[in-house]
Amino acid sequence: MMQDALKKIRGAHWLSSDAVIQQLWPDFFRLKGDRLVADDPALTVGFGQFEGQTCLVAGVNRGQTLTERQTYRGGAVAPTGYRKFSRGLKLAMKRHWPVITLINMPGADASLAAEKQGQSQAIAAAIQLMGQLTVPNIAVFLGEGESGGALALANSNRVFMYQHSLFSVASPEAMQAILKRPVGEVDQLLPITAQALQQQGLVDAVLPDTDANTMVAALKTQLQTALMQLADQTPLQLQQQRLTKFQQLQTLV
């Protein structure tokens, strides 16, 4: 069950963030570079119009061909990507644009280069900025999202997940290695699936996995509703709402 879901969302033909952007933001402009080191092709950051309103959109690229997968490191976002994202967030706040993130990634880049370029700091800064955002933000899980690398894109007012997507502290494989439990068991021990996280109150909508066109259409409807609901919120309300939302996961007694 779990393995089937993983195979599906990691497959070359799964709905990509690029495909979503092409359909929902056809007049999209891509930002390039973190203004410090380089541009990270694993994370698209840019802006375009949705229903007449400009949005800042960030989408992780896993890649479809082998060459793409190598270029994008399978969607492992680098510090340059998180810094480009933070740059976009500041622009969005200045221009009062809502922020939409499209997530399907194995976690942040765990390479020598990433460490040298300050991966931890880049992620911390992005998580903090997302929490303090004065404009609405909505996270959409197209597939999996794990570790702080995914949290940096997911610390949002609304979280939508496609039916087979996952949001977890670590990848099922990493959890298997650390906790010595079979991959297929992890989702029964901890809430990581869209359905389980909806029950916890974190996920606002579980979107059906069908064909690409239907999937994008369903997302479009959800985005319209959410953007309308969030439009009147003050910056303070938006910040507080994010806190309250993520506090729901706590199981403190």
Partner 1 sequence: MGHMPAAGTWQACPQCGEHHHRLEWAPWQICPSCGYYQRLTAQQRLTQLVDQGTFQPLPDLAMTAATTGFPDYAAKLATAQTKTGLAEAIVVGQAAIDQQVCVIGIMDSHFMMGSLNQVVGQKICQLFEVGSQRQLPVVLVTASGGARMQEGLAALTQMSLTLAAKSAFDAQGGFSINVLTDPTMGGVTASFALQADILLAEPAATIGFAGRRVIEQTDQVQLPADFQSAEQLLTRGMLDAVVPRAQLKAQLAQLLRLGGKSA
**Chain positions contacting partner 1, by CB under 8 A:** 108-112, 114-116, 118-121, 123-125, 127-128, 130-132, 147-149, 151, 155, 167-170, 175, 178-179, 181, 189-192, 197, 202, 239, 242-243, 246-247, 249-253
Residue 227 CA to residue 9 CA, distance in Å, equals 26
| CA–CA dist 148, 107 (Å, integer) | 7
Nearest to partner 1 of 81, 191 (CB atom): 191
Minimum CB separation of residue 128 from partner 1 in Å reads 4
CB of 14 to partner 1, least distance (A): 22
Q: How far is Cα 126 from Cα 33, in angstroms, rounded to an integer?
A: 15
Specify the residue, 33 or 148, whose C-beta has the smaller distance to partner 1.
Answer: 148
Integer Cα distance of 32 and 35 in angstroms: 9
Q: At closest approach, how far in Å is the CB of 20 from partner 1? A: 24
Whose Cβ is closer to partner 1: residue 51's or residue 115's?
115
Reference 134, options 46, 242, 34; nearest CA is: 242
Query: Nearer to partner 1 by C-beta: 203 or 227?
Result: 203
* Tokens representing residue 95 in the block: 């221009």
Radius of gyration over every alpha carbon of the chain, rounded to an integer in angstroms: 17
Residue 79 Cβ vs partner 1, minimum distance, rounded to whole Å: 9
φ/ψ bin of 180: left (φ > 0), alpha (ψ from -120 to 50), beta (otherwise): left
User: What angle, rounded to 10 degrees, do the helices at 235-247 and 119-132 form?
Assistant: 120
C-beta of 151 vs 219, nearer to partner 1: 151
Provide, rounded to whole angstroms, the least separation between the CB of residue 49 and partner 1.
29
- How near is the Cβ of 124 to partner 1 at its closest, in Å? 5
- Whole-number Å distance between alpha carbons of 21 and 27: 9
Q: Are 40 and 72 in contact (CB under 8 A)?
A: no
- Give the nearer residue to partner 1 in terms of CB position, either 54 or 198: 198
The nearest distance, CB 36 to partner 1, in angstroms, is 11
Judged by CB, which is closer to partner 1: 6, or 197? Answer: 197
* 8 A C-beta contact, residue 157 and residue 136: yes
Distance CA 185, CA 209 (A): 22
DSSP tag of 168: E
